[in-house]
Structure 1
Amino acid sequence: MNVTSEQLQTGWEQFKFSNDNDMQVSVLNYGGIITEILVPDKSGRRENVVLSYKDFEDYKNDPNFFGAIIGRVAGRIQDASFTLGGNTYNLEANDGENCLHSGSAAFHSVIWDAEPFQTDEQAGVKLTHTSPDAEGGFPGTVDVTVTYTLNNRNQLMIDYEAISDKTTALALTNHTYFNLSGNLRETIKHHNVTMNSSRFAELDKNLIPTSNLLDVSGSPFDFREVKKLAVGIESGIEQNTFAGDGFDHYFLFDQENGNITVKEENSDRVMQIETNQPGTIMYSGNNLGEGLALKEGPSRKNLGGCFEM
């Protein structure tokens, strides 16, 4: 196990931690952004399996939230406001009339305090940040800790902890876009996915949940048996077209712990996700624009996918 760091610009630092199996993860203290995950394919060729910018400056105004910690609340808040304890809290409307990922100046755009660590069996970085009362419109001062840990079993673990001095809204996630083909060789349309979910949250045309949970049976949303993402991306049904031809939906897990498997056949890379959260938003990169300068080449639609838990 090994940890190194480098200064990139004023206040910005990148941490790289690797294990004994040729896997390496790179994380910025800015936004807690995962900038690179290097893993071997079936031939032992080590390549990057996440989307990241070629120029770090592009993270400062990133509408895609590549690799970042999202908070205080991930996802969309309808009409950029919510009521809690009889009080209404108004937020930034940065997605039409709604608030997406807590606004433009949220956890993804702050410099976190960083403490790297290393033992014989694991390495990583612990990030901490204090969000003051009323920041972004949310009540309460919140102390947040997010820890990235890589071990010799090729497991990357993300642990979240937050303490608030007031009742508040809080739902953290990570927004890394994965592409297991390696170095963005292909889109994710032919990634195979399985997950233990028989229901998903219906969306309206503004991508706001309607409060209806729909049965996945007989639909492109049924990943209880392995299915290519292309089935939904190319389905043409209303729920997929609402999301920009693909997925941007919350899947509710059938068991207490969620399990997702993603496989890319050409590289033979497999990503297994385990979580103690009740569900995940699976996003298939439908709104990813063309021509962004990424490390391995220009961006395009469906070039990466997120699992937001």
Structure 2
Amino acid sequence: MPTSASFGKTQAGTEVQLYTLTNAHGLQATISTYGGIVTSLRVPDKAGQLGDIVLGFDNVSGYQSPEYQKAGPYFGALIGRYGNRIQGGQFRLEGQTYTLAKNNGPNHLHGGLQGFDKVIWQAQPGTSAEGQTLRLTYTSKDGEEGYPGQLAVTVVYTLTNDDALKIDYSATTDKATPVNLTNHSYFNLSLGQSKDVLKHEVKLFADRYTVVDETLIPTGELRPVKGTPFDFTTVHTIGERIAQVPGGYDHNWVLNAGTGGGQHPAASVYDPASGRTLEVFTTEPGVQFYTGNFLDGTLTGKGGTKYGKHAGFCLETQHFPDSPNQPKFPSTTLQPGQTLKSTTTYKFGVRPANQEL
């Protein structure tokens, strides 16, 4: 069974628990009841040495500091009710206009001022045939952060014995509401050795991406990546063409979903320095590839590590940004009587330097 320990108290005085999942090979994932945050993920490198590969803090106070609140990087957190941006903090649904917080310039981001990343989740540790599990539940009240409907959310983290962190999301509602759930982990497969991820090699299983305006809201165009710095259909390092993208990568790629349902590949990442690999599979239609462009060294994380620009990358599996205002995008509306189900798997490994992704 997973083990638990205190992670400190919130500013409101609530005790926060930290659960550690361990698999048959010694990999470990630690998850906080505050925000459902993956605070640590220890996986082996090519020498067999376990190392932590996600950005975060040593206790819950780090996730509540004024500096962190101002920067808003959402390290490792569960994101909801709506991951990514909604234009103008507004959407119409079934003839009614709903107004949300504008917490990202003129737009709404990641569920608002008090999104799922800042709430206490109820935790139930357990085991399954695949490995140790942590079941987290949270009920978002009707009207919370401006969203309609009471939304009951369950997220199950499983650290599988074949070296993957699997995340199963499910939700039900009593009123029609937009829902887009994801996890916002920042990965650095050489964390502790490398200050940035620019030499990581990336492949994205996507032939198109959603073009955005200057506030990162999609224009509606799904543009082919071919011939652009967004083309990761073949392997490129993160740093190779990032200067050609104003501000860096922070875009939604339209995944080439496989046939037959189930999970399809989203991304493969390889770090030559550590030999570590990360493969991402998901049932979602998109993935936000973000390269830590807004990190500026003001945040000091685990073990005194300063997180500067490009200190980590995110692969946030998702429906597309601003879908409630984009009728041509896959719908994010959940209706009463329906159950949202979504799965994403982050699989870890190592490989020889001469082996292709």
TM-score if structure 2 supplies the norm length? 0.82
The 5-angstrom pairing of residues 159-170 of structure 1 reads 159-170=168-179
Provide the secondary structure at the position in 2 that maps to 1:180.
coil
Tell me the CA shift for residue 194 of structure 1.
0.8
Q: Is the 8 A contact 1:283 1:307 kept in 2?
A: yes
Provide the secondary structure at the position in 1 that maps to 2:55.
coil
Q: Would the alpha carbon gap of residues 184 and 282 (structure 1) be closer, same or farther in structure 2, given more than 3 Å must change?
A: farther
Q: Is the 8 A contact 1:258 1:279 kept in 2?
A: no
Q: Tell me which amino acid in the other structure corresponds to 1:81.
A: Q
Tell me the CA shift for residue 164 of structure 1.
0.4
1:197-219 deviation digits (Å, cap 9, x = unpaired): 11001111111111111111111
Q: Distance in 1 between matches of 2:133 and 2:313?
A: 23
The 5-angstrom pairing of residues 258-277 of structure 1 reads 258-277=265-284
Q: Would the alpha carbon gap of residues 117 and 184 (structure 1) be closer, same or farther in structure 2, given more than 3 Å must change?
A: farther
Q: Is the 8 A contact 1:191 1:265 kept in 2?
A: yes
Q: Tell me which amino acid in the other structure corresponds to 1:227.
A: H
Q: Would the alpha carbon gap of residues 95 and 273 (structure 1) be closer, same or farther in structure 2, given more than 3 Å must change?
A: same
Which residue is 1:226 aligned to? Answer: 235
Q: Is the 8 A contact 2:287 2:316 kept in 1?
A: yes
1:183-237 deviation digits (Å, cap 9, x = unpaired): 35231111111121110011111111111111111111111111111123222xx
Q: Is the 8 A contact 1:182 1:267 kept in 2?
A: no
- Structure 2 unaligned runs (5+)? 259-263, 318-357
Q: Is the 8 A contact 1:49 1:184 kept in 2?
A: no
Q: Would the alpha carbon gap of residues 158 and 222 (structure 1) be closer, same or farther in structure 2, given more than 3 Å must change?
A: same
Tell me the CA shift for residue 108 of structure 1.
0.5
Q: Tell me which amino acid in the other structure corresponds to 2:282.
A: T
Q: Distance in 2 between matches of 1:137 and 1:153?
A: 41
The 5-angstrom pairing of residues 230-249 of structure 1 reads 230-235=239-244, 240-241=245-246, 244=247, 246-249=248-251
Q: Distance in 2 between matches of 1:166 and 1:291?
A: 41
Which residue is 2:257 aligned to? Answer: 255
Tell me the CA shift for residue 58 of structure 1.
2.1
Q: Distance in 1 between matches of 2:220 and 2:138?
A: 33
Q: Is the 8 A contact 1:251 1:280 kept in 2?
A: yes
Tell me the CA shift for residue 38 of structure 1.
0.4
Provide the secondary structure at the position in 1 that maps to 2:311.
coil
Q: Tell me which amino acid in the other structure corresponds to 2:301.
A: L
Which residue is 2:333 aligned to? Answer: none
Which residue is 2:353 aligned to? Answer: none
- Structure 1 unaligned runs (5+)? none
Q: Distance in 2 between matches of 1:56 and 1:115?
A: 19
Q: Tell me which amino acid in the other structure corresponds to 2:5.
A: E
Q: Distance in 2 between matches of 1:233 and 1:113?
A: 40
Q: Distance in 2 between matches of 1:100 and 1:41?
A: 35
1:130-176 deviation digits (Å, cap 9, x = unpaired): 00100000000000000100111001100000000011010000000
Which residue is 1:306 aligned to? Answer: 314
Tell me the CA shift for residue 291 of structure 1.
2.7
Provide the secondary structure at the position in 2 that maps to 1:200.
strand
Q: Distance in 1 between matches of 2:291 and 2:49?
A: 25
The 5-angstrom pairing of residues 1-309 of structure 1 reads 2-8=1-7, 9=9, 10-60=14-64, 62=69, 63-119=72-128, 121-183=130-192, 185-235=194-244, 240-241=245-246, 244=247, 246-256=248-258, 257-296=264-303, 297-309=305-317
Provide the secondary structure at the position in 1 that maps to 2:241.
helix
Q: Tell me which amino acid in the other structure corresponds to 1:64.
A: P
Tell me the CA shift for residue 11 of structure 1.
2.5
1:36-75 deviation digits (Å, cap 9, x = unpaired): 0001111111111000024421212541110000000001
Percent of paired sites with the same residue: 39
Q: Would the alpha carbon gap of residues 198 and 59 (structure 1) be closer, same or farther in structure 2, given more than 3 Å must change?
A: same
Q: Is the 8 A contact 1:130 1:143 kept in 2?
A: yes
RMSD: 1.3
Q: Which moved more, 1:50-59 or 1:115-124?
A: 115-124
Q: Distance in 1 between matches of 2:208 and 2:193?
A: 31
Q: Distance in 2 between matches of 1:199 and 1:139?
A: 32
